[in-house]
C-alpha cells in the first residue's frame, strides 16, 4: 500500500518549488504518493487536494518555506491530527528542521516505520463566536493607528495588569523566540508548560512580561481612543480588524501539533545558530 503525503509550499519563494520537486522525485520511485496544493500541482508536483479537507490516507504534511509557511499550515495539521514537517527554504526557519539540500534523507525519514514526533500545545482564541488556533502567539494591538490603547489582561478571573501602549502579545513556549522576544519577553524552552504575556511598548516603566500557567484561562480587553480600529493577529498570519471594544478569550486548545524532526531536538543549538544570523544581520541561504 502506498504511503501518501501532502505538500504545501510558499509560492513567493522560488526555491520552495525546487525543494518540493526534489523530495517528490525521491518519494515516487519508492512507492510514495503525493498530494499537493494548487501552486505545486500546477507544476506537475502531486495531485491537487485541499489543505482543509485532506484525503484520509495522508500520513504527513510537508511545508516548504519559512516559519510563516509552517504557521499557516499548523492549524489544519493539528485539527486533522496529521504530523507536520517543515522543510526550510526561507530566511530564518526557526521552526523548520527539514533540510532542503537533503531530499534523500527526508524521503527515508518519511517512509520509515517510525519517526520522532514533538507534540506542541496550541492556543484556542475566541472572538465574536469565531474560533482560531495559534501555535506561536497572538497579539491584540493598535493596528494601523498610532494612538495608545489600554489593554487589560486577566487570568483565571484575576486582573494581571493594565497596559497603556501598543497592546499585548500572548505566546506559547515554542513561540517565545518570536514576537514576544522582540518585545522584551524571555526565551523559554519549548518543553516548559507555561504561557508568556508581554506588553507591547507599555508606558508603565515597571510593567514587565508575566509567566502564567499553561492551563490559564486568559481574557484580553482593549479600549482604543475615539473607537479607532484595533487588530487581533493570530500567529502573524490571520489579521482580524476590530472596530469596537475587544474582548478576547484565550485558553489551551484540545488540539496539539505533531512536529516531525529529522534528528534529536536541540533547542539551544538551533537558537545559537539563528542568533548568529540575526546578530550579524545576514540573510540565511
Contact present, 25 and 102 (Cβ < 8 Å)? no
In this prediction, residues 245-252 reach a mean pLDDT of 94
Contact present, 62 and 87 (Cβ < 8 Å)? yes
Mean pLDDT of the chain: 90
3-state secondary structure the chain: CCEEEEEEECCCCHHHHHHHHHHHHHHHHHCEEEEECHHHHCCCCCEECCCCCCCCCEEEEEEEECHHHHHHHHHHHHHCCCCEEEEECCCCCCCCCEECCCHHHHHHHHHCCCCCEEEEEEEEEEECCEEEEECCEEEEECCCCCCCEEEEEEECCEEEEEEEECEEEEECCHHHHCHHHHCCCCCCCCCCCEEEEEEECCCCCCCCCEEEECCCCEEEEEECCCCCCEEEEECCCEEEEECCCEEEEEEEEEEEEEEECCCCCCHHHHHHHHHHHHHHCCCCC
What predicted TM-score, i.e. pTM, was given to this entire model? 0.90
pLDDT-derived band at 4, boundaries 50, 70, 90? very high
In this prediction, residues 160-165 reach a mean pLDDT of 95
pLDDT digits (tens, 9 = 90+) for 21-72: 999 999 999 999 999 999 999 999 999 999 998 999 999 999 999 999 999 9
pLDDT digits (tens, 9 = 90+) for 89-118: 876 667 888 888 899 999 999 998 788 899
What percent of the chain is predicted at pLDDT more than 70? 93
CA distance 141 to 224: 10
CA distance 87 to 65: 7
Which has the closest alpha carbon to 234: 137, 109, 95, 117? 137
**What's the pLDDT at 284?**
44
37, 67, 137, 166: the active-site residue: 67
Asked if 99 is an active-site residue, the reply is no
What size, in residues, is the chain? Answer: 285
Contact present, 32 and 111 (Cβ < 8 Å)? yes
Amino acid at each position: 500500500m502506498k504511503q501518501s503525503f501532502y505538500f504545501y509550499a510558499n509560492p513567493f519563494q522560488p526555491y520552495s518549488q525546487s525543494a518540493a520537486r526534489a523530495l517528490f522525485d525521491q518519494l515516487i520511485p519508492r512507492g510514495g504518493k503525493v498530494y499537493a496544493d494548487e501552486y505545486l500541482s500546477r507544476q506537475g508536483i502531486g495531485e491537487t487536494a485541499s489543505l482543509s479537507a485532506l484525503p484520509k490516507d495522508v500520513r504527513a504534511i510537508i511545508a516548504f518555506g519559512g516559519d510563516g509557511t509552517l504557521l499557516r499550515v499548523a492549524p489544519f495539521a493539528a485539527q486533522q491530527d496529521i504530523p507536520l514537517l517543515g522543510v526550510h527554504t526561507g530566511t530564518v526557519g526557526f521552526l523548520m528542521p527539514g533540510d532542503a539540500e537533503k531530499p534523500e534523507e527526508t524521503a527515508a525519514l518519511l517512509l520509515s516505520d517510525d519517526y520522532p514526533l514533538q507534540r506542541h500545545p496550541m492556543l484556542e482564541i475566541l472572538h465574536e463566536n469565531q474560533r482560531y488556533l495559534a501555535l506561536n502567539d497572538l497579539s491584540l494591538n493598535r493596528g494601523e493607528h498610532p494612538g495608545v490603547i489600554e489593554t487589560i489582561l486577566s487570568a483565571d478571573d484575576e486582573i494581571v495588569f493594565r497596559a497603556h501602549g501598543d497592546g499585548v502579545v500572548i505566546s506559547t513556549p515554542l513561540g517565545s523566540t518570536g514576537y514576544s522576544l522582540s518585545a522584551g519577553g524571555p526565551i523559554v524552552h519549548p518543553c516548559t508548560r507555561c504561557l508568556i504575556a508581554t506588553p507591547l511598548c507599555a508606558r508603565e516603566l515597571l510593567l514587565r512580561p508575566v509567566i502564567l500557567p499553561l492551563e490559564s484561562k486568559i481574557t484580553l480587553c482593549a479600549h482604543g481612543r475615539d473607537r479607532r480600529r484595533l487588530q487581533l493577529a493570530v500567529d502573524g498570519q490571520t489579521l482580524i480588524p476590530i472596530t469596537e471594544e475587544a474582548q478576547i478569550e484565550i485558553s489551551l486548545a484540545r488540539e496539539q501539533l505533531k512536529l516531525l524532526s529529522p534528528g534529536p531536538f536541540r533547542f539551544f543549538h538551533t537558537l545559537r545558530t539563528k542568533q548568529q544570523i540575526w546578530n550579524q544581520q545576514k540573510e540565511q541561504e
